[in-house]
Amino acid sequence: MARQSSTALAAALLEAAATSRSLRPSALLEVAAFSAGEKPALRFVLYPGDETSFLRTASAFGLDSATRPVFLESRGGSWFSLVPYRTELERLLVVIAAADQAEGLAEAETLDSERAGVMLGYPACCVKAFQRLAEAGGRWGQALAATAIDARAIDARCNRFAAEWGGIGVMGELFPCSLECEHAKAYGESLYRSTVRLGLHRLALRAKADSLRPVVLSDDGTVSVVAPGKTGSLGFVWNASNR
């Protein structure tokens, strides 16, 4: 996609995001990477009604899209799983992709999470490890934190925790297989650099800043930003090509 059309698509999708009540801020860099051609597809889980602007934008740019109702169930903390039965948490799955890809991805999201992860451009190792974190449920954060060599100096490109306190972060919605995974670091850096290339410098800087904020994990799985002057259980450093 040409730079001009990439920038126009990013602007339109981000404008759609601004109208959404339910889009997580962590998805914004994935929007940028998709617009820049670095990510093959997008998927959002939204409140019904929040999809309108996204679908209109997809149509205007000749992209494929699909939606389907889904139901969520809490597994504790910030972890919610898609389940094949009705719950009180009804949402809408929204997929945007290249031609003839959206329906297949929407189906995979509900039937084959590994296939869905691959279609979203996530590293294969991380896709295969997702079930391990899903089984940990609300304590997924502790399970992931246990993979760090140094919990006070985790590479910020692998900071999935920022998404859970409402931050942006640089790795979007990917759950890395390990906080030391080189493929996950490369994925996070690709999202960050796509954002920079599109000229979205303020968004990129905010994502980087959020990725560097230390966090603490509570026993129930809640992820919280550490207050100024306090020491967090998990700290982060920026190792992305010295930039």
Answer for the pair 95, 42: CB distance below 8 angstroms, yes or no. yes
Identify the weakest region by mean pLDDT among 62-66, 187-191, 222-226: 222-226
pLDDT digits (tens, 9 = 90+) for 27-85: 999 999 999 999 999 999 999 999 999 999 999 999 999 999 999 999 888 899 999 99
* DSSP strand pairing (41-46 vs 89-97): antiparallel
- What pLDDT is attached to residue 32? 97
User: How many angstroms separate the CA atoms of 127 and 51, rounded?
Assistant: 26
Asked whether residue 98 carries a pLDDT value surpassing 60, the answer given is yes
Asked whether residue 22 carries a pLDDT value surpassing 70, the answer given is yes
User: How many angstroms separate the CA atoms of 174 and 189, rounded?
Assistant: 12
- In the chain, the amino acid numbered 195 is T
Question: Among candidates 40, 33, 21, which has minimal Cα distance to 207?
Answer: 33
- In the chain, the amino acid numbered 7 is T
User: How many angstroms separate the CA atoms of 82 and 217, rounded?
Assistant: 23
Asked whether residue 240 carries a pLDDT value surpassing 80, the answer given is no
User: How many angstroms separate the CA atoms of 76 and 9, rounded?
Assistant: 36
Question: Among candidates 189, 167, 165, which has minimal Cα distance to 176?
Answer: 189
Domain ranges of the chain: 3-237
Helix (H, G, I), strand (E, B) or coil at 169: coil
Mean pLDDT over all residues of the chain? 93
- What pLDDT is attached to residue 199? 96
Question: What average pLDDT does the segment 116-143 reach?
Answer: 94
- What pLDDT is attached to residue 229? 65
